Amino acid sequence: MKVFLSLISVCIILFSCKKEVIGKENISNSEAISFKANSSSTDSLYTAVYLPTSTTKQIVKHQYYTLSYNEKFEQAEWVAYELKATYLKNNDFKRPYFIEDPKVTTGSADWRNYKNSGYDKGHLCPAGDMEFSKNAYNDTFYTSNISPQKKEFNSGIWNRLEQKTRYWAEKYNDIYVVTGGIPKDSDKKIGTEKVAVPKYFYKIILAKSGNEHKAIAFLIPNEKSDKSIYDFVVPIETLEKMTGIDFFPNLKNLKSSKAF
């Protein structure tokens, strides 16, 4: 009887230790493959299981970023990529022309839709984040990786957020970024292919230490703004409700905050 009671006590103790940790990874080893093409999980903190869900089921993988293309609005609903501190270079690469993405089966929008539209061809995965390699840099000039942005927004607060993202890459050594516009049927359209002009753009930055994660999320109107980027911090849940996307389906209880 004493042995039996001892076994019960041990089982209770073991069970009580299995408390859920906020932001802890819920991933099996068999799923831990890199989300980048031509790469392995051994050189990356962030694997394919970090990818958001896709509402369109058209996921396109480039060497250093992955996107989900939305043919209805002729742009990516999200672009996801890893940004390492070692990627932060200042190479003076010549800017190539934007071209259609050959990997988008429905065909990405022609760059001429933006011509004389009054809107910038706003990068989602910034070319400035990929200056460590000429090929990586050139890969950001697919039209699947751009969205119509007002010039004052693109060169202003959005640029400030991109610079801050690079600061966080240096701070944490390796981060994961998900970004995109939030187009709606009612949005203004440009060009013959009716490329939607999102009223809002979002960016989520995730940092990992061991199995623990922390994140910060932003939702910014496609307008000129002199406000601090921190005025636009929102819960990830807000973005998920607006987009219908589960941004981190394999992370339990991940919360975002200004304390990043």
Q: Which of 182, 230, 179 is nearest to 205 (CA)?
A: 179
Q: How distant, in Å, are the alpha carbons of 57, 65, 199 from that of 247?
A: 14, 15, 20
| Maximum separation of any 2 CA atoms in the chain, in Å | 85
> 113 labelled as ligand-binding?
no
DSSP output for 175-204: EEEEEEE---TTS-EETTTTEE--SEEEEE
The rounded radius of gyration (Å) of the Cα atoms in the chain is 20
d(CA 197, CA 77): 12
- The whole-angstrom separation of Cα 116 and Cα 126 is 22
Residue 213 known to be catalytic: no
Q: Return the residue matching tokens 């927004």.
A: 153
| 231 contacts 220 by C-beta, under 8 angstroms | no
What value, to the nearest 5°, has the Cα angle with vertex 189 and ends 188 and 192? Answer: 160
Q: From the candidates 84, 123, 208, 213, which is the catalytic residue?
A: 123
Q: Roughly how many angstroms between the first and final C-alpha of the chain, as a whole number?
A: 53
Which amino acids are annotated catalytic? 123
**Residues in the annotated binding site for Mg(2+):** 154
Annotated binding site: 154
